[in-house]
Homo-oligomer: A and B are copies of this chain.
């Protein structure tokens, strides 16, 4: 694999992907644990998600998405489509729970899943194996694992954006300089 010619792309690497994935629970913990509930339950209006909702969604991904789909690829290849992912599962599963409890569960599940990932000792050939996404069609194990990484980071973005927008009015004229507030909602 040739190194990238610039600083805008990295080739997928299990070691580097694992390094990023391992950091998400502690990043969310540092950002959210102990904040007032009014902040961790904040959202962007309508059906948008709060930080609390997002952590529940990440838990559901650990339980039903990434490693389970990796196993389907390794066992069945593209002969069996992935189960559909329930994007709204957390609204039931997180009801009545606290954010610290969800953060703990996410950290425990992620740690176990990364240990399982490591134990698979995936080869380049394994990473090139195909599975079948119910909507996207053929995808590779490499793409699934790269998406796991980007998905984590996308939800870190979402949580930080939801928090920042609580001060959309309080920042006054600085709003014009703050792309995080002026950008698209939701």
Residues of A that sit less than 8 Å from B by CB: 6-12, 16, 19-20, 23, 26-27, 29-32, 34-36, 38-39, 41-45, 50, 133, 136-137, 139-140, 142-144, 146-147, 149-151, 153-154, 156-157, 160-161, 163-174, 176-181, 183-184
Q: A171, B156: Cβ atoms under 8 Å? A: no
Tell me which residues across on chain B come within 8 A of A43, comparing CB atoms: 7-8
Q: Judge whether A156 and B31 touch: CB under 8 Å.
A: yes
Highest count of chain B CB atoms <10 Å: which of A9, A19, A32, A39: A9
Q: Is the pair A170, B12 in contact by a Cβ cutoff of 8 Å?
A: yes
Report if A167-B150 is in contact (Cβ < 8 Å); known contacts: A10-B42, A30-B30, A161-B157: yes
Instruction: Give chain B residues whose Cβ lies under 8 Å from the Cβ of A147.
Output: 167, 171-172, 174, 178
Q: How far is the CB of A165 from chain B (nearest CB, A)?
A: 7
Q: Are B173 and A139 in contact (CB under 8 A)?
A: yes
Let me know if B19 and A35 touch, CB within 8 A. yes
Distance (whole angstroms) from the CB of A100 to the closest CB of chain B: 14
Rounded to whole angstroms, the CA-CA distance of A10 and B163 in the bound complex is 9
How many Å from the CB of A55 to the closest CB on chain B?
14
Q: Is the CB of A136 within 8 A of B169?
A: no
Contact A172 B50, beta carbon cutoff 8 Å: no
Contact A8 B44 (CB under 8 A): yes
24 contacts between A and B (CB under 8 A): A6-B45, A7-B43, A7-B45, A8-B42, A8-B43, A9-B167, A10-B166, A10-B170, A11-B170, A16-B36, A16-B39, A19-B34, A20-B39, A23-B31, A23-B32, A27-B27, A136-B174, A139-B173, A139-B174, A142-B172, A146-B172, A157-B157, A157-B164, A183-B184
